[in-house]
Amino acid sequence: MNTERSRNLFQKAQTLIPGGVNSPVRACKSVACDPLFVARADGAKIYDVDGNVFIDFLASWGPMILGHNHPTVVAAIQEALAHGTSYGAPCPAEVELAELVCEALPSVERVRFVSSGTEATMSAVRLARGYTGRKMVVKFDGCYHGHADSFLVKAGSGIITLGIPGSPGVPDDIVKNTLSIPYNDVVTLEKTLRDASLDIACVIVEPVAGNMGVVPPAPGFLETLRALTAELGIVLIFDEVITGFRLAYGGAQSYFGIMPDLTCLGKIIGGGLPVGAYGGKAEIMAKIAPEGPVYQAGTLSGNPLAMAAGAATLKALAEPGFYDRLNAKAAAYADRLAEIAAKHLPGATTLNRVGSMMTTFFTAGPVTDFTSAMTADTGRYAAFYREMLAQGVYLAPSQFEAAFISAAQREEDLATALEKTEWSFKKLPK
């Protein structure tokens, strides 16, 4: 595969941008290859600057559930563009997207838009602390909620991918107010939440973990979490930056029937443009400035182009049967993928899937939490990733991320990807 232009661009980028990338996991360090520079994307395909074509399973880390360049999303952005790009003032598009989000998510009565998932989660935690007057934040090992100081404690995504224990620059004074406990461990969860000395403001959870690879909630885990936080007056925050509008039109909270107090969103609700959001109970959201005293702000919050892209995306996702079709396609693909893996690496892989998000772990499994996820053979995943890339299939450059099925992938795309998967498994050292 010719990658000359990417190599030249990467060389120049590294003289200007730390690691040559604007987000660490894109540097492909954990899969031991240099990143390809993308020229364009369309439908189910990614095209790099050297003319190589890939079937895309990264979906820009989740947002591109419709596929790239969806005609109605592009048209909505183009129409908005004709009216300007940013006003720094309220605009009708913000109200339209807010209405779509509040109608879609059963627990969200009021919503505030920001420009990234990180902004959404950091604001939700500040709000929970302001609302309860308490300090401690409880998160789960391997879950990632963006890069705000409070969250860089045993976090997932790029933190485990790069093997960073936490992050320098986060003062102990901040870290001491974040407690990370094992995902899916209801005994530790109950013991922790009932410890009155901890002064817990909130628990933030990925209702389906996507940042240690895909790890579903164990039966009863979310139910226990909801019951305990309700009993103890602790704010329950669902970080649905990945699962929001991914698992169902109503997100994980509809998929599992568990209602959080606050929900964080990102990725899909921007339709590929920068949007995050946090929302939930009106009583809690009323504490946010200018209505209440908890401050949060943003120059590009509610950006008209991003709002238009988000609204067009949600309207397309609201089509009857969209998720039934997407999740059925994902299930069929995952079944074949698991068969191929078991045939070529018997007892050495395990596939976790919820809806259209999945991870093939290179370990016997089961993978139910951070500790079991960490048994994965990241060297073998890296070899698999490189072979799949050479075969024209674009996966997440990390064992600890998700692969996504999109509406744009046709049966022939998935059939081709499965052929390439079998070829790649055959080439892996046993």
C-beta of 240: minimal distance to ligand KE4 in Å? 8
The pair of three-digit structure tokens given for residue 38, joined into one six-digit string: 């993308």
How far is residue 369 from each of residues 141, 224, 366, 373, measured CA to CA in Å?
Answer: 8, 17, 9, 6
Q: Which residue is nearest to ligand KE4 (CB)?
A: 117
Nearer to ligand KE4 by Cβ, of 268 and 345: the residue is 268
How far apart (Å, rounded) are the C-alpha atoms in residues 188 and 237? 18
Catalytic residue flag (residue 199)? no
Give bridge partners of residue 40 from the DSSP assignment: 47
Of 403, 426, 349, 422, give the one whose Cα is nearest residue 55: 403
Binding residues vs ligand KE4 (CB under 6 A): 23, 25-26, 61, 116-118, 121, 144-146, 157-158, 206, 210-211, 239, 241-242, 266, 276, 401
Distance CA 252, CA 357 (A): 12
The nearest distance, CB 103 to ligand KE4, in angstroms, is 23
Neighbours of 291 (CB within 10 A): 10
For ligand KE4, which is the closer residue by CB, 119 or 425?
Answer: 119
**For residue 267, which of 328, 357, 204 has the smallest C-alpha distance?**
357
- CB neighbour list of residue 129: distance below 8 Å, 6 or more residues apart: 135, 137, 201, 202
d(C-alpha 68, C-alpha 179), whole Å: 38
Choice among 154, 267, 329, 420 that is catalytic: 267
Residue whose CB is less far from ligand KE4, 211 or 349? 211
- Shortest Å distance, C-beta 400 to ligand KE4: 9
Cβ distance to ligand KE4 smaller for residue 2 or 23 = 23
144 catalytic, yes or no? yes
Of the residues 48, 56, 239, 261, only one is catalytic, namely 239
Nearer Cβ to ligand KE4 (128/345): 128
In the set 29, 139, 144, 183, the catalytic residue is: 144
Task: State the minimum distance, in angstroms, from the CB of residue 264 to ligand KE4.
Answer: 7
What is the smallest separation between the CB atom of 146 and ligand KE4, expressed in angstroms? 3
* Beta strands in 333-426, from DSSP E residues, in sequence order: 350-354, 357-361, 393-394, 403-404
Catalytic residues: 144, 239, 267
